[in-house]
Chain A
């Protein structure tokens, strides 16, 4: 069967990688157990041995594995990022997903034959920016930020000639990615360098009567009524008091799902679809990858995909779905 669009799926653990491969992922992306990737949560991610085993499992089933080394090295501490690139290459990764200029340069010089993808953390959203990364570091693909409409995605692809990967399901990120400091102000740890937004050790929940209160450090992030869906305790999804009224200023707790826009994204020239959620369980991975595989196979055969069951809404943050910026209703 002709591939309609490449399906790039998350894996936070070796078990999730196997589930993603078995559910029909074309590619799985993952990261090491340290600050070199943007999902540095306790107990998550891959050891070098895990990665070797995962790559062998995936390759045996014609599935590729990308390794995210997409955080920004701290001053004077480039070692973990160098080792991550070298080890990803040694383990047989099909590509590395990078954001920092130094890391990109290191990978280009040391492993010229290893595919380099530009991470969403680089927030490259202009033709000039993407062309710079293409010309300077030979990037093969750019993961586009989640702030672009379908028309803007099409225009960027037309002006850069670089493969584009776009987010299609999972948590939203409408800030300038890789440059968000909201969480750092509250916790002292940086999403961009420590790889963790709202670090687990700073998050707590407590019950206040029939309400659930989420806190990040000493800051109350949100308060949910008993009949209200809960959300992640990240500052961008917090409720803020404005003129005495609590409201979502940055993002509401809702999940991205652009299945109805897949034909438009293909027509725009998109190469690959990314599912967000390395921090999620293997059940989430199985559910979402299976659903997308079915839809993509139907589209590849020229059929209309069957209406989406509620299973995807059930795993979406806040139990609600949105087209995000692709439809630009919020601007």
Chain B
């Protein structure tokens, strides 16, 4: 995996474990870093009408509220998206990060329903176009928060991501094997049931034939 890619498995696990206050603090720091690294992006968003967008990663317990326009750009984690929102974006974390970094085409993801966008489109279109002007790198910005040890942190994170990916692959294969075995078990059970039904049908048929024979040949039946 190239260093520019986002370690999504690691991020999903870490974000899932972080308590809400720690996640809030980390997100605030990350946004401050983004503001310094991408001032043009933040200026473009600041010029927009006040806007609140819900971000809903489907593979995380946390939701996020992004605010821009009028106030400084902010991203705040939350457990539910109950407040009034202008729009909401839902999708897998890897997809959402890919969109943020401009590596994925939002229209194509929308057509294929890999992301679901609801609400007012003006804010979403403005945000998408502002992001598309920049080359945002979430992983680099996140590891830069560690200051001088940012580079080793990046290396360790990528190593952990590789291990997690390998473990994930093993788990997927075992899961698949287990399902295959269940499918096999299921097919044997179906086969037995069918055989039993056939046997029962044959028994009934033999009984009928015997009854007919007895009716036609009562003496023989007696003897």
* Shortest Cβ gap from B39 to chain A (Å): 16
A194, CB-defined interface residue at 8 Å: no
Instruction: Mark each residue of chain B from 21 to 53: 1 if its CB lies under 8 Å from any CB of chain A, else 0.
Output: 000000000000000000000001000100000
- From A117-125, A184-192, A281-289, give the one contacting chain B: A281-289
Chain B contributes a number of interface residues (CB within 8 A of A) equal to 31
- From A64-72, A78-86, A312-320, give the one contacting chain B: A312-320
A41 touching B125, Cβ below 8 Å = yes
B222, CB-defined interface residue at 8 Å: no
A205, CB-defined interface residue at 8 Å: yes
Partner of B105, one of A14, A43, A228, A315: A315
- Closest B residue to A207 using CB positions: B118
With a cutoff of 8 Å between Cβ atoms, the chain B residues found around residue A245 in the complex are: none
With a cutoff of 8 Å between Cβ atoms, the chain A residues found around residue B107 in the complex are: 280-281, 284, 315, 317
With a cutoff of 8 Å between Cβ atoms, the chain A residues found around residue B110 in the complex are: 230
Instruction: Mark each residue of chain A from 174 to 218: 1 if its CB lies under 8 Å from any CB of chain B, else 0.
Output: 000000000000000000000000001101111100001000000
With a cutoff of 8 Å between Cβ atoms, the chain B residues found around residue A42 in the complex are: 48, 122, 125-126, 129
B45-72, CB < 8 A from A: 48
B95-112, CB < 8 A from A: 102-108, 110-112
* Shortest Cβ gap from A29 to chain B (Å): 17
A16 touching B113, Cβ below 8 Å = no
B135, CB-defined interface residue at 8 Å: yes
A282 touching B102, Cβ below 8 Å = yes
A229, CB-defined interface residue at 8 Å: yes
A283 touching B104, Cβ below 8 Å = yes
* Shortest Cβ gap from B11 to chain A (Å): 21
B119, CB-defined interface residue at 8 Å: yes
B133 touching A229, Cβ below 8 Å = no
A44, CB-defined interface residue at 8 Å: yes
With a cutoff of 8 Å between Cβ atoms, the chain A residues found around residue B184 in the complex are: none
Chain A contributes a number of interface residues (CB within 8 A of B) equal to 38
* Shortest Cβ gap from A193 to chain B (Å): 19
B105 touching A212, Cβ below 8 Å = no
With a cutoff of 8 Å between Cβ atoms, the chain A residues found around residue B198 in the complex are: none
CA distance A11 to B122 in the complex (A): 20
A200 touching B125, Cβ below 8 Å = yes
Partner of A15, one of B116, B125, B133: B133
CA distance A224 to B116 in the complex (A): 12
A12, CB-defined interface residue at 8 Å: yes
* Shortest Cβ gap from A22 to chain B (Å): 13
A315 touching B44, Cβ below 8 Å = no
A200-B122, A230-B110 are known contacts. Are A43 and B103 too (CB-CB below 8 A)? no
Partner of B111, one of A227, A283, A287, A318: A318
A96, CB-defined interface residue at 8 Å: no
* Shortest Cβ gap from A45 to chain B (Å): 9
Q: Which 6 A-B pairs have the closest CB atoms?
A: A43-B129, A203-B121, A200-B125, A201-B122, A200-B122, A42-B126
Q: Which residues of A contact B (CB under 8 A)?
A: 12-16, 41-44, 200-201, 203-207, 212, 224, 226-231, 233, 253, 280-284, 287, 314-319
* Seed contacts A16-B132, A281-B105, A314-B112; 19 additional CB < 8 Å A-B pairs: A12-B132, A13-B133, A15-B134, A43-B129, A44-B129, A200-B121, A203-B122, A204-B118, A204-B119, A205-B117, A206-B118, A212-B116, A212-B118, A233-B121, A281-B102, A284-B108, A315-B105, A318-B111, A319-B111
Q: Name 28 A/B residue pairs within 8 A (Cβ), A-sorted.
A: A12-B129, A15-B132, A42-B48, A42-B125, A42-B129, A43-B44, A43-B125, A43-B126, A200-B121, A201-B121, A203-B121, A203-B122, A204-B119, A205-B118, A205-B121, A226-B113, A280-B107, A281-B104, A281-B132, A282-B102, A283-B102, A283-B103, A283-B105, A284-B108, A314-B108, A314-B112, A316-B111, A319-B111
